[in-house]
Chain A
Amino acid sequence: MSHAVRGLGIDVGSTTAKMVAVGSNAEMIWHWLEPAEPRVEEQVARFLDKAAAALGPLSGIPSVATGYGRGLVPAMRRVTEITCHARGVYREFAVGVTLVDIGGQDSKVIRVGSRGETADFSMNDKCAAGTGRFLEVIAQRLAVPLERLGPIALGTSEEVAISSTCTVFAESEVISLIARGVAVGAILRGLHRALVKRVVAMIRTVGLVAPLVLSGGGACNPAICQLLAEETGMAVHLPRHPQLVGAHGAALIALEKDAD
């Protein structure tokens, strides 16, 4: 093994659990991602075993946990996803950015300052619209695999307006559109537009400052990337590992704390 692990970041989200190990130069040397399981402690223990198998013994390595399940992770410190994402994205881009993270349970917009600090942030309110869950529900209803949603939406120029911003009501709207014989592609394009518009409203609350970066599971969906660029009139940049930004940031904080 060429790199010694110096910090671990564990991001337990609502949909996926991620782990990143960084070396002494803050470079990502190992990572793991899998669907989140209800038994967080067991899953994290398994992660640690995998990491130890790949990297060697981990005792004494500082670790930081983030994400909704962070309270259940045996880590040195727990830090919110906002701070971890800001740290992770700054490490990769090294400039102030507006980061949009579309996760399974929440979406957030973080304005990262020129020194990597969180200058402002906004999160979706008590509603699943504007999050990955919105698309998951619809994918299930349309019997389309999640990863095919974006390509199908982009495969057509037709688009129907989805008037409801509520996930549950949007689902009923989709059912009635299908009943009226509207093409699935047009429905999906409209759904992506509705989600992106909601995210853009959040971006406006913190103020859009270029460059615009998209992370989270939503960044794996090409329709979200394209429509976000259309709606903001700005190029959308993707991190190398869009779903690992938070876990990477957590590992970096662990590394910094160790250096302190």
Chain B
Amino acid sequence: MSVGRKMVYHVNVNLLGRAVLRWHRLKAERRGGAPRGWKQEYLAPPLSISPRTKELISRHYLAGRYAHLGRKVAWVTSGAPVELLKALDYYVLYPENHAAVCGTVRACVEISGEAENAGYSRDLCSYARTDIGSALSGKTPVGKLPKPDLLLACTNICQTVLAWYRVLAQHFRVPLILIDTPFLFGEASEHVITYVRRQLEEAVPVAETVAGKRFVERRFEEVTQRSRMASQLWLEILERNHHQPAPLSVFDQFIQMAPIVEMRGDGFTVDFYAALLREVDQRIAQGVGAVTKEKRRLLWDNLPVWYRLRYLAEFLAERGVAVVASTYTNAWGELAPMMDVNRPWDSMVRTYLHPILNRGTGHKLATMIRMIEQYELDGAILHSDRSCKPYSIGQMDQRDHLVRECGRPALLLEADHNDPRSYAEEQVANRLDAFLEMLGV
């Protein structure tokens, strides 16, 4: 890497870019208050950390835009053992997060249309379609995505990633590291642990070759430590919702979870969540609830409906319903206790074997029941996500169990996390209204 290229990277990303984004953040913080149209009568004012969240995400994509001037780029799945790559100073891009950004700004239909036009079925995951569509067309709402030098896919979230990342590997002609994490129906056997550990160890020389750097164990431990700290803080933030009224709705969490997914292992991510925890504690001290008149508390299962986040937040808040816990946001916190900086390899194996989607449907049900008890919830909304089959399978039985065995009303809501063509607002509103009437609100 030449000194000149590094200088350009440094000036664009660290000096000019950061300064501009910082100025935008300061301006937003100074302006303060709620954006136009904010439903103040039933929603708490926006979190004051929000401009910082936006700054972090923008900085992340800005660094990506210029990444090839100074760093190697890896594209990874959301449940990938990213600490290995961070230790080698890769710029890490999460296509799923990028797809969620596309979903939030309602660009999914256009971008995934590029993949559909190329022959990819609409029955495929809308994240995969959005990502492949973006790779084929270059379309993105974040400016420009860096091409990968390396791909890392881990099967602990779904099997779609197997085919998805092979498509990317062929398209970009770059190496693909695949970490196969056998599905856990109960405890992970020694054989499974050894199997995954060997794959991780074998991944290192490939990542080293592409990076042109030596893997340093101490660096790996440092990154693992920061991942653990950030995940722990995220878990603490979520658990503050045991408090009534809940300080942070899951709709807030869906936004604020971006750094724990795509910036896990970075020092500033730890600082960010420490600051968010302070703000949440401040809300509790002041008696501020995310929903101003919290009458009922619900659980959300599955991914968000990215393109209707605000609509759903307002719809529910207007009726005094706070959605305070979610199996989805919890997934990035619940594994924190498994991360052990003194045994980074073993802990990495355990951490990445145990995401909720790599375990049986009974485990998810048990998680939901535990959350219902701990957060004192009145019912549950189970988003039946057309795109995410591993998350949605078993929901009918889980719903029945919650209703019949736990005595909690539960609603199966059909939608898709990214593709609005699989979402019918009139029907969603009608079902939600009926469900809330059943809850007595």
Q: A205–B438 contact, CB under 8 A?
A: no
Q: A83–B434 contact, CB under 8 A?
A: yes
Q: Complex formed: what's the CA distance from A20 to B437 in Å?
A: 21
Q: B424–A126 contact, CB under 8 A?
A: yes
B9 smallest CB distance to A (angstroms): 48
Q: Which residue of chain B is the closest to A120 with respect to CB atoms? A: B403
Q: A83–B409 contact, CB under 8 A?
A: no
Q: Complex formed: what's the CA distance from A206 to B433 in Å?
A: 18
Chain B residues contacting A80 (CB-CB under 8 Å) are 430, 433-434, 437
Q: Complex formed: what's the CA distance from A123 to B396 in Å?
A: 13
Q: B438–A83 contact, CB under 8 A?
A: yes
A250 smallest CB distance to B (angstroms): 12
A78 smallest CB distance to B (angstroms): 9
Q: Complex formed: what's the CA distance from A225 to B205 in Å?
A: 69
A234 smallest CB distance to B (angstroms): 19
Q: Which residue of chain A is the closest to B433 with respect to CB atoms? A: A80
Chain A: number of interface residues, binned into ranges: 10 to 19
B403 smallest CB distance to A (angstroms): 6
Q: Complex formed: what's the CA distance from A121 to B436 in Å?
A: 12
Q: A125 in the interface, Cβ–Cβ < 8 Å?
A: yes
Q: A68 in the interface, Cβ–Cβ < 8 Å?
A: yes
Chain A residues contacting B426 (CB-CB under 8 Å) are 68
Q: A120–B430 contact, CB under 8 A?
A: no
Q: B374 in the interface, Cβ–Cβ < 8 Å?
A: no
**Chain B contact residues: over half helix, strand or loop, or mixed?**
helix
Q: Which residue of chain A is the closest to B422 with respect to CB atoms? A: A126
Q: Complex formed: what's the CA distance from A120 to B437 in Å?
A: 11
Q: B409–A81 contact, CB under 8 A?
A: no
Q: Which residue of chain A is the closest to B415 with respect to CB atoms? A: A126
Q: B431 in the interface, Cβ–Cβ < 8 Å?
A: yes
Q: B396–A82 contact, CB under 8 A?
A: no
Q: Complex formed: what's the CA distance from A221 to B434 in Å?
A: 27
A236 smallest CB distance to B (angstroms): 23
Q: B433–A205 contact, CB under 8 A?
A: no
Q: A239 in the interface, Cβ–Cβ < 8 Å?
A: no
Chain A residues contacting B414 (CB-CB under 8 Å) are 125-126
A209 smallest CB distance to B (angstroms): 11
Chain A residues contacting B403 (CB-CB under 8 Å) are 120
Chain A residues contacting B404 (CB-CB under 8 Å) are 207
Interface residues of A in 172-210 (CB under 8 A from B): 205, 207
Q: B282 in the interface, Cβ–Cβ < 8 Å?
A: no
Chain B residues contacting A79 (CB-CB under 8 Å) are 437
Q: B434–A205 contact, CB under 8 A?
A: no
Q: Which residue of chain A is the closest to B440 with respect to CB atoms? A: A117
0/1 string, A59-86, CB within 8 A of B gives 1: 0000000001000000000011111000
Q: Complex formed: what's the CA distance from A68 to B426 in Å?
A: 9
The verdict on A83 contacting B427 (CB below 8 Å), with A120-B403, A120-B409, A205-B396 known, is no
Q: B346 in the interface, Cβ–Cβ < 8 Å?
A: no
Q: A24 in the interface, Cβ–Cβ < 8 Å?
A: no
Chain A residues contacting B431 (CB-CB under 8 Å) are 123
Chain B residues contacting A82 (CB-CB under 8 Å) are 434, 437-438
Q: Which residue of chain A is the closest to B431 with respect to CB atoms? A: A123
Q: B252 in the interface, Cβ–Cβ < 8 Å?
A: no
Chain B residues contacting A123 (CB-CB under 8 Å) are 427, 430-431, 434
Q: A121–B434 contact, CB under 8 A?
A: yes
- Highest count of chain A CB atoms <10 Å: which of B399, B426, B431, B437: B437
Q: A118 in the interface, Cβ–Cβ < 8 Å?
A: yes
Chain B residues contacting A121 (CB-CB under 8 Å) are 434, 438
Chain B residues contacting A126 (CB-CB under 8 Å) are 414, 424, 427
Chain A residues contacting B376 (CB-CB under 8 Å) are none
Chain A residues contacting B180 (CB-CB under 8 Å) are none
The verdict on A68 contacting B409 (CB below 8 Å), with A120-B403, A121-B438, A126-B424 known, is no
Q: Complex formed: what's the CA distance from A120 to B414 in Å?
A: 17
Residues of B within 8 A of A (CB): 396, 399-400, 403-404, 409, 414, 424, 426-427, 430-431, 433-434, 437-438
Given A80-B434, A207-B400, 10 new contacts (CB under 8 A): A68-B426, A80-B430, A80-B437, A82-B438, A117-B438, A118-B434, A121-B434, A126-B424, A126-B427, A205-B399
Interchain residue pairs with CB less than 8 A apart (27): A68-B426, A68-B430, A79-B437, A80-B430, A80-B433, A80-B434, A80-B437, A82-B434, A82-B438, A83-B434, A83-B437, A83-B438, A118-B437, A118-B438, A120-B409, A121-B434, A121-B438, A123-B427, A123-B430, A123-B431, A125-B414, A126-B414, A126-B424, A205-B396, A205-B399, A205-B400, A207-B400
